[in-house]
């Protein structure tokens, strides 16, 4: 009986001792949290903010092409096609800058250079729309008169992209493409082609709409990027890598351009009319000298946090 009582007492003593140690450890842990908890919380908040700013986006550390890094060289001068080639860094590096339009009064006008005929033609651009405002990405028109004659690529109220070839005398041919209610604040590669009979619209390399034209296409000279000016439908967001060809590029060509990404160089130099990367300026790097005049356009360098390569 006495032995049992001694063992019971010893066991109780050990339990109290263990509880005391556990209590000491808990108290030590609480003291640690009280001492370093705020520091840990601040670090977590800072890391979250850096993530939201895109610091951990792989594009942050990707090499970026400076303005004019790649351009078309035409040894025989603008408008010629003999022995033309690409010069510089043309490996598809993302641009250092893109052009940002305010949705109110910013645009790029291009009035010089050869006539931009609509038979056939390819219009292409990378676009990042903000909000649900109607705005032109790219429009060709009779520069000296109005934009009632011509054609365009446009962001339509956050509803879809659309494209049009128009003649104020014979009518308008309009096509919508893509999912209705496409997300804003995303980069898209948008292309319109016309082969003399059929008009097509591509988004991110995929054909999304087509129709046979009833309109008689007009010969147009000059163009605007980011606005129609006359219509007052100004693009809100960013635009990059605008390319125009005097041929209807094939579906394979368009898919290849999309896979090159936002910094991709033209792939059909023989038919290239104009190339405006908008990487820090409105210059034409097609070798044809159709430089643009920017009005209230900002070239931003922190654009890539929202860009995901194809």
Which residues are 122's β-sheet partners?
193, 245
Number of domain units in the chain = 2
Same domain, 36 and 177: no
* Residues 126-183 pLDDT 10s: 999 998 888 999 888 865 556 777 788 888 877 678 888 877 777 778 888 876 667 8
* Block residue for tokens 């860009």: 307
Is 279 within the bounds of a domain? yes
Is 57 within the bounds of a domain? no
Same domain, 143 and 243: yes
Question: Average pLDDT for residues 19-45, to the nearest whole number?
Answer: 58
Is 214 within the bounds of a domain? yes
pTM for the full predicted model: 0.81
Same domain, 12 and 67: no
* Residues 203-248 pLDDT 10s: 999 999 999 988 777 777 788 999 987 767 899 999 999 999 999 9
Same domain, 244 and 109: yes
* Residues 57-91 pLDDT 10s: 556 667 889 999 999 999 999 989 999 999 998 98
Same domain, 85 and 176: yes
Same domain, 133 and 152: yes
Same domain, 35 and 105: no
Nearest to 174 by CA among 203, 194, 144: 194
Question: In the structure encoding, which two tokens stand for residue 20, read together?
Answer: 């005391």
Which residues are 172's β-sheet partners?
166
Same domain, 26 and 163: no
Same domain, 6 and 28: yes
Which helix (H) or strand (E) segment holds residue 275: the answer is strand 272-276
Q: How confident is the model at residue 16 (pLDDT cuts 50, 70, 90)?
A: very low
Same domain, 112 and 202: yes
Distance CA 7, CA 14 (A): 10
Cβ atoms 38, 285 nearer than 8 A: no
Q: Where are the alpha helices (DSSP H) in the chain?
A: 2-52, 251-260
Same domain, 168 and 194: yes
Is 265 within the bounds of a domain? yes
Q: Which domain holds residue 237?
A: 62-306
Distance CA 58, CA 13 (A): 60
pLDDT for 47? 52
DSSP per-residue codes, 67-102? TTSEEEE-TT-TT--TT-EEEE--S-PEES-EEEEE
pLDDT for 198? 92
Query: Residues of the chain with pLDDT > 90: what percent?
Result: 49
Same domain, 154 and 23: no
Cβ atoms 265, 86 nearer than 8 A: yes
């Amino acid at each position: 009986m006495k032995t049992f009582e001694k063992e019971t007492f010893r066991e109780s003593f050990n339990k109290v001792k263990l509880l005391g140690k556990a209590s000491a450890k808990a108290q030590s842990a609480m003291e640690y949290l009280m001492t370093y908890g705020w520091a840990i919380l601040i670090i977590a908040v800072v890391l979250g903010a850096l993530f939201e700013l895109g610091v951990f986006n792989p594009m942050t550390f990707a090499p970026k092409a400076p303005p004019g890094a790649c351009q078309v060289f035409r040894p025989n001068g603008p408008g010629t096609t003999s022995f033309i080639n690409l010069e510089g860094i043309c490996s598809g590096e993302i641009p250092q800058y893109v052009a940002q339009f305010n949705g109110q009064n910013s645009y790029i006008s291009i009035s010089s250079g050869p006539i931009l005929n609509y038979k056939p033609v390819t219009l292409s651009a990378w676009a990042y729309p903000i909000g649900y405002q109607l705005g032109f990405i790219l429009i060709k028109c009779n520069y000296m008169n109005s934009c009632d004659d011509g054609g365009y690529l446009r962001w339509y109220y956050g509803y879809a992209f659309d494209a049009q070839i128009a003649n104020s005398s014979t009518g308008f041919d309009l096509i919508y493409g893509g999912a209705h209610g496409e997300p804003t604040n995303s980069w898209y590669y948008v292309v319109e082609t016309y082969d003399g009979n059929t008009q097509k619209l591509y988004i991110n390399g995929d054909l999304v709409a087509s129709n046979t034209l009833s309109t008689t296409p007009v010969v147009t000279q000059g163009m605007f990027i980011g606005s129609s000016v006359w219509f007052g439908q100004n693009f809100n967001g960013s635009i990059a890598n605008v390319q125009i060809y005097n041929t209807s590029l094939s579906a394979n060509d368009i898919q290849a351009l999309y896979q090159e990404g936002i910094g991709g160089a033209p792939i059909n130099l023989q038919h290239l009319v104009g190339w405006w990367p908008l990487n820090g300026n409105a210059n034409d790097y097609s070798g044809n000298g159709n430089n643009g005049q920017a009005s209230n356009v900002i070239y931003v360098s922190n654009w890539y946090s929202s860009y995901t390569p194809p």
